[in-house]
A and B are shown apart, each in its own frame.
Chain A
Amino acid sequence: MTLTRRDLLRTTATSTAGLVVAFHVPRVARAAGPAAPPLPPANAFLRIGADDSVTVLLAHSEMGQGSWTGLAMLVAEELDCDWSKVRCEHAPAAPVYAHPAFGVQMTGGSSATWSEFDRYRQVGATAKDMLIRAAAARWKVSPAACRAAGGKVIHGKDELSYGKLAEAAMKLAPPKTVSLKEPKDWKLIGTKVRRLDTPEKITGKAKFGMDVQFPDLRTAVVARPPAFGAKLAKFDATAALKVPGVEKVVPTANGVAVVAKHFWAAKLGRDALKIDWTPPEGGGVDTPKQMAEFHDKAKAPGAIAKTKGDIDAGLTGAKTKLVAEYEVPYLAHAPMEPLNCTVKIDGDRAEIWTGTQFQSIDQMVAGAILGHSPDKARDKVTIHTMFLGGGFGRRATPTSDFVSEAVIVAKAAGVPVKVVWTREDDIHGGYYRPAYVHRIQAGLDDKGRPVAWDHVVVGQSIVAGTPFEGMLAQHGVDSTSVEGLVESPYLESTGAVRVSLHSPKPPIPVLWWRSVGNTHTAFAMEGMIDEAAHAAGADPLAYRLALLKEKPRHAAALALAADKAGWSSPPPPGRARGIAVHESFRSIVAEVAEVSVENGRIRVHSVTCAVDCGTAINPLAIEAQVQGSVAFGLSAVLYGKLTFAGGRVQQSNFHDYPVVRMWDMPKIDVHIIQGKGAPMGGIGEPATAPIAPAVANAVFALTKQRLRTLPLKLA
């Protein structure tokens, strides 16, 4: 299946909230046929300098996950270059850098490594082939008589460094095919390699979007609606314009931007704005009322996501029936670097500097604001991807919210502008992990095994109304709302299963948040399995292993985590352990959490993780991602909760939206299972989901309190 750009992107302008560019992501974006795709143009991905430097251009954004190192390793493995000479750069926004599986240039879905595994290795192999041929031509020998190692082509006693060959090699025709190394011949892949971006990031030299500065650049701070659904009625900029340093005040699609010489002046200017907002229709969302409605809806099945067997008969005929409701709140991503975007407009061209996960979409959205079609936008809009001070999904909005706003401000202000969000803007600004309620009725047989499972999910769809709806939603079911449930390994031998979904549409902007639907489905599923184990009077590990007899990878991960955590020996006095396993993004992670309660506070002492992500490229990076994912998930377990009153978010900064800090951080042990023949999975997200049930199950083991609402709160 071949897709043209036009298939991927259908542009229309709508008028709901200013300019919205709609595009369409096809359901199947990846060619599945036997014909091998053409080799990537090595020049677009790799530059070899006369000084022997090897610069890899990244199609994916570096936001902490380590692609800056991992993708370079793939090139270097096949190129056989000197690793100490390898550098990275973010690629510009261009079709050649489209995600191999998703068709647009983007970073997300824990997919950078597996999706680029072939392409980046092919780049290295292609370049090596050309370098060898260039050397062979110079020596007038057969390429087959030459070999490459350590950044040199070697023939007998002759050797030439890549830097000396680069210019000649570039003029050669690229090979039609290349053969990649057998895994047994890998020198770099599978070894512990330290990050390439460390030197910049420990000296303050790394440039994030926030750090973009150039002469004549102005800073803007934007007043946005105080409540979701509120609309700008009118504003008075008189006082704002009197603030020293403030130069202009311009309206945005639904707000007011203050443009000033520096951030502080812009911020003071915004404080001085007088704005009338029209309150949200119907008063806006109130959390207690909304959650009551969600629990109400959960009493009846919704759109069917999965069904097998006769669920009513199954539940009626079960020996024991368990009913439980799980609940999770809205969450902000709160990356350390608040959102920002710098835009310089010159005639019908725009140059953009920002930390983004969605270059193709930003480019089109920015182009549309300047009146360009998507095709034209590619030529007229330049995107410089800066380091991302955390992404976690927030910098991948289908509306390009923070980019489009900056383009509008720069256009209206007529000067280059960096729009800077404050932390309060970030917490109030939307695009949250939605709140969900799960109602589960589980029927168990006389041995305590699930024979009927009725699972109702209630919560906003993150893809409804976005270009991703076609790819990710079918028959009214957003697959991201039920991922981890419909394919639950626990229910494969369960005779009667029904998973259904209600997707209410309150006016709250929602989005993927590190590990997406798994953030709540793993909590509900692994919590309920733990409840079933308890009802069966079984050990939580033994119960799971018995259900996972046909799932050797899950069972192996569980067994390894349990073994390393000392599951078979009792925990220290005052502590208890909980276990969970979950598959997401093609990887399986099992976690054992050891907890205590100190002064009424849940304390997580250690988390032991077993990870099966298939072929492990860089164990050091995998360990870091697992540790980070556990910390990210743990913030939601212990603290994270946004609430609404009249459509207004009641939290605003880290004092009332706390996150895990050093003293909360458990000891985390990561054990990597080298997947034998298993396809490569992702690693940026999969360890996030199991931590909530692992901790909740441990708290139950310790206190006999079954906490089914996040964040966990002891009675």
Chain B
Amino acid sequence: MKLDINGTVREVEAPPEMPLLWVIRDLLGFTGTKFGCGMAQCGACTVHLDGQPVRSCVTPVSTVGTRKVRTIEGLSPDGSHPVQRAWAEADVVQCGYCQSGQIMTTVALLEQNPSPSDTDIDAALSGNICRCGTYVRIREAVHLAARLSHGGGK
């Protein structure tokens, strides 16, 4: 089957039921998208399908169709996306394992809500678990990214 991933259409041979997560990681070699729970509980596997965040661990690859897949690798080649710059500025990461998912959710949030309130952040990001507890700085970084990308943010 064909998969449009980060702007390139790739041919991949995968069983239709196989979760998109494992197709991305094990068959296509994009390891920035992480496995954390396998049941849409933790958000570490978040990717975008046509700009909407989805949990790739519970997405059968056969349901993707022609929708465009975007992973953390497709955000920017060098960490220059405003959300990534905000993450660096706020010194967010600790172990870093959940951050691909946190960033992908934040990118989707800001694309649809350029000036999120704290309540909006609580709603958007409570599906992404961080065991290191970087939430305080994630919140700072989301506000900062809003300012960097849209001149908004509250």
A-B contacts, 16 listed (Cβ < 8 Å): A198-B93, A202-B87, A210-B35, A213-B29, A261-B26, A264-B18, A264-B22, A336-B95, A337-B34, A387-B95, A389-B97, A624-B134, A627-B137, A632-B131, A653-B37, A654-B42
Which residues in chain B, 4-47, are within 8 Å of chain A measured between CB atoms? 15, 18-19, 22, 25-27, 29-39, 41-42, 44
Nearest chain A residue, comparing its CB with the CB of B123:
A663
User: Is there contact, CB below 8 Å, between A662 and B88?
Assistant: no
- CA of A391 to CA of B132 in the docked complex: distance in angstroms? 9
Q: Please classify the interface of chain A as helix (H, G, I), strand (E, B), loop, or mixed, using the class held by over half of its residues.
A: loop
Whether B96 sits at the interface, judged by CB under 8 Å, is yes
Whether B128 sits at the interface, judged by CB under 8 Å, is yes
- CA of A208 to CA of B32 in the docked complex: distance in angstroms? 10
Q: Which residues from A are CB-within-8-Å of B34?
A: 208, 210, 336-337, 389
Q: Which residues from A are CB-within-8-Å of B127?
A: 661
Nearest chain B residue, comparing its CB with the CB of A210:
B35
Among A20-28, A61-69, A169-177, A472-480, the one that faces the other chain is A61-69
| Other A-B pairs, 6, CB within 8 Å; known A624-B91, A661-B135, A662-B138 | A203-B73, A207-B31, A264-B15, A336-B131, A660-B133, A665-B133
- Closest chain-B Cβ to A104's Cβ sits at a distance in Å of 22
Nearest chain A residue, comparing its CB with the CB of B71:
A204
Residue among A264, A390, A392 with most chain B CB within 10 A: A264
- CA of A63 to CA of B131 in the docked complex: distance in angstroms? 11
Among B48-56, B76-84, B146-154, the one that faces the other chain is B76-84
Whether A255 sits at the interface, judged by CB under 8 Å, is no
- CA of A659 to CA of B41 in the docked complex: distance in angstroms? 10
User: Is there contact, CB below 8 Å, between A338 and B35?
Assistant: yes
- Residue-wise, chain B 112-154 has the 8 Å CB interface mask toward A (1 for contact) of 0000000001110111111111111111000000000000000
Known contacts A204-B73, A336-B44, A624-B94; A392/B131 CB under 8 A? yes
The contact of A667 among B41, B123, B126, B136, by CB within 8 Å, is: B136
Whether A201 sits at the interface, judged by CB under 8 Å, is yes
- CA of A628 to CA of B129 in the docked complex: distance in angstroms? 12
User: Is there contact, CB below 8 Å, between B96 and A197?
Assistant: yes
Known contacts A335-B131, A624-B137, A661-B129; A205/B32 CB under 8 A? yes
- CA of A264 to CA of B23 in the docked complex: distance in angstroms? 9
Whether B72 sits at the interface, judged by CB under 8 Å, is yes
Whether A334 sits at the interface, judged by CB under 8 Å, is yes
Q: Which residues from B are CB-within-8-Å of A261?
A: 26
Q: Which residues from A are CB-within-8-Å of B27?
A: 262
- Closest chain-A Cβ to B99's Cβ sits at a distance in Å of 6
Closest 4 CB pairs of A and B: A204-B32, A631-B133, A389-B97, A201-B96
Q: Which residues from B are CB-within-8-Å of A63?
A: 95
- CA of A687 to CA of B58 in the docked complex: distance in angstroms? 36
- CA of A163 to CA of B141 in the docked complex: distance in angstroms? 36
User: Is there contact, CB below 8 Å, between B95 and A263?
Assistant: no
- Closest chain-B Cβ to A420's Cβ sits at a distance in Å of 8
Q: Which residues from A are CB-within-8-Å of B78?
A: 203
User: Is there contact, CB below 8 Å, between B38 and A422?
Assistant: yes
User: Is there contact, CB below 8 Å, between B36 and A338?
Assistant: yes
Q: Which residues from A are CB-within-8-Å of B103?
A: 202
Which residues in chain A, 168-220, are within 8 Å of chain B measured between CB atoms? 194-195, 197-208, 210-211, 213, 219
- CA of A211 to CA of B36 in the docked complex: distance in angstroms? 13
The contact of B79 among A202, A211, A667, by CB within 8 Å, is: A202
Nearest chain A residue, comparing its CB with the CB of B42:
A654
- Closest chain-A Cβ to B149's Cβ sits at a distance in Å of 15
Q: Which residues from A are CB-within-8-Å of B121?
A: 662
Residue among A63, A389, A630, A653 with most chain B CB within 10 A: A389
- Residue-wise, chain A 323-352 has the 8 Å CB interface mask toward B (1 for contact) of 000000000001111100000000000000
Whether A707 sits at the interface, judged by CB under 8 Å, is no
- Residue-wise, chain A 48-73 has the 8 Å CB interface mask toward B (1 for contact) of 00000000000000111110000000
Whether A558 sits at the interface, judged by CB under 8 Å, is no
User: Is there contact, CB below 8 Å, between B136 and A627?
Assistant: yes
The contact of A663 among B19, B26, B38, B126, by CB within 8 Å, is: B126
User: Is there contact, CB below 8 Å, between B99 and A202?
Assistant: yes
The contact of B95 among A334, A388, A420, by CB within 8 Å, is: A388
The contact of A263 among B26, B71, B87, B126, by CB within 8 Å, is: B26
Q: Which residues from A are CB-within-8-Å of B37?
A: 423, 653-654
Residue among A205, A244, A620 with most chain B CB within 10 A: A205
Whether A505 sits at the interface, judged by CB under 8 Å, is no
Whether A655 sits at the interface, judged by CB under 8 Å, is yes
Q: Which residues from B are CB-within-8-Å of A628?
A: 94, 132-134
Q: Which residues from A are CB-within-8-Å of B110?
A: none
Q: Which residues from A are CB-within-8-Å of B133?
A: 627-632, 660, 665
Nearest chain A residue, comparing its CB with the CB of B37:
A423
- Residue-wise, chain B 96-109 has the 8 Å CB interface mask toward A (1 for contact) of 11111001000000
User: Is there contact, CB below 8 Å, between B33 and A204?
Assistant: yes
- CA of A199 to CA of B85 in the docked complex: distance in angstroms? 9
Whether A668 sits at the interface, judged by CB under 8 Å, is yes
